[in-house]
Amino acid sequence: MAGAKEIRTKIASIKSTQKITRAMEMVAAAKMRKAQDRMQASRPYAEKISQVIGHVALANPEYHHVFMTPRSEVKRIGYVIVSSDRGLCGGLNSNLFRSLVKEIKDLQAEGKELVYCTVGSKSLGFFRRVGGKVLAQVSHLGDAPHIEDLVGTIKVMLDAYTQGEVDEIRLAYNTFVNTMTQQPTVSQLVPLVPGADAAELKHHWDYIYEPDARVILDNLLTTYIEFISYQAVVENGACEQSARMVAMKSATDNAGELINELQLIYNKARQSAITQEISEIVGGAAAIAN
């Protein structure tokens, strides 16, 4: 009966782990609902402002904002990477990093320089580990991020673009497809990308700007960049909670299976110990009777 006690302690330890994972699952489920609401509330605005920006990129304005003109030669690319602050959320961050690393390697092979700007402590940790020039970082934005907390970090990148230190800015984050699926996404933030409905707006045209093109465009572009980054953060937040919920659910299920298996082994060990004891007694009694 030597193994029985060990197995019992092991079962107890797995049970307490299971309790923790179950609690984390429930917390993540509750947070997920809020995070998804937040994401869905701001999604229409983000979609529409991207559409408008897509049109603006196609116009032939009298005033060219720096963000509107693609540079002839792209030497340095800035990445804004949105990740979670905490781990234990399945492959969420590592999937994003894996797809990024692939892209980064290709770009480096082409001789491009890369600089980064990280949102969330996981991406900061990642670039500390693998090396890479991090211009700015922000983390611990909390469950309900505010645009104001983000703006400073994004501005560092935009200033670098305006001063010609980087020639392109891309945004990397996870898009929320549904609770089970999160899609790592990299999109170009600056210079603006013309919209998908380019064909119907091909002719030479421009907006009427009231009161003034410069004011309107500066205003619109700032709002756009801030809002798109904010959307990326809330979207990533919703992804984080759902990924964590799924990861914790499978951890809880695994723990349950493990407990069942161990329980079976424990029962067998106990049974065989009892059988052995009885047969010893019977054997002893038989020897005395003889």
Partner 1 sequence: MAMTLHIDIVSAEGHLYTGQGQMVYAPAVMGEIGIAPRHTPLLTRLKPGDVRVDPGNNQPHQHFYVSGGMIEVQPFKVTILADTGIRAADLDEAAAQEAKRRAEDALANRQADMDMAKAQAELAEAVAQLKIISQLRNIR
What's the closest the beta carbon of residue 140 comes to partner 1, in angstroms? 23
Nearest Cα neighbor of 65 from 53, 77, 47 is 53
Q: Say whether residue 55 binds partner 1 (CB under 8 A).
A: yes
Of 56 and 81, the one with the shorter C-beta distance to partner 1 is 56
For tokens 């670098």, the residue is: 160
Among 11, 14, 220, 265, interactor with partner 1 by CB under 8 A? 220
7, 262 contact by CB (below 8 A) = yes
How many residues interact with partner 1 (rule CB under 8 A)? 26
Residues 6+ apart with CB under 8 A from 92: 84, 174, 182, 239, 240, 243, 244
163: three-class secondary structure by DSSP: coil
Q: Which stretch binds partner 1 (CB under 8 A): 39-47, 117-125, 169-177, 251-259?
A: 39-47
What's the closest the beta carbon of residue 192 comes to partner 1, in angstroms? 14
Q: Strand 182-190 vs strand 168-176: parallel, antiparallel, or unpaired?
A: antiparallel
Going residue by residue from 175 to 204, which x/- string records binding to partner 1, judged by CB under 8 A?
A: --------------------------x---
Among 216, 258, 262, 273, interactor with partner 1 by CB under 8 A? 216
What's the closest the beta carbon of residue 251 comes to partner 1, in angstroms? 35
Q: Say whether residue 60 binds partner 1 (CB under 8 A).
A: no
79 vs 139: CA distance, rounded Å: 16
192 vs 186: CA distance, rounded Å: 14
Q: Say whether residue 59 binds partner 1 (CB under 8 A).
A: yes
Going residue by residue from 223 to 252, which x/- string records binding to partner 1, judged by CB under 8 A?
A: x---x-------------------------
67, 191 contact by CB (below 8 A) = yes
Query: What backbone phi and psi angles, to 5 degrees, belong to 202?
Result: -75, -35
Q: Say whether residue 205 binds partner 1 (CB under 8 A).
A: yes
The residues with which 116 forms a beta bridge, in sequence order, are 79, 134
Give the number of other CB atoms < 10 A from CB of residue 39. Answer: 20
42 vs 287: CA distance, rounded Å: 85
Q: Which stretch binds partner 1 (CB under 8 A): 48-56, 149-157, 160-168, 237-245?
A: 48-56
Among 32, 35, 56, 154, interactor with partner 1 by CB under 8 A? 56
List residues binding partner 1 (CB under 8 A).
Answer: 41-42, 44-45, 47-49, 51-52, 55-56, 59, 201, 205-211, 216-217, 219-220, 223, 227
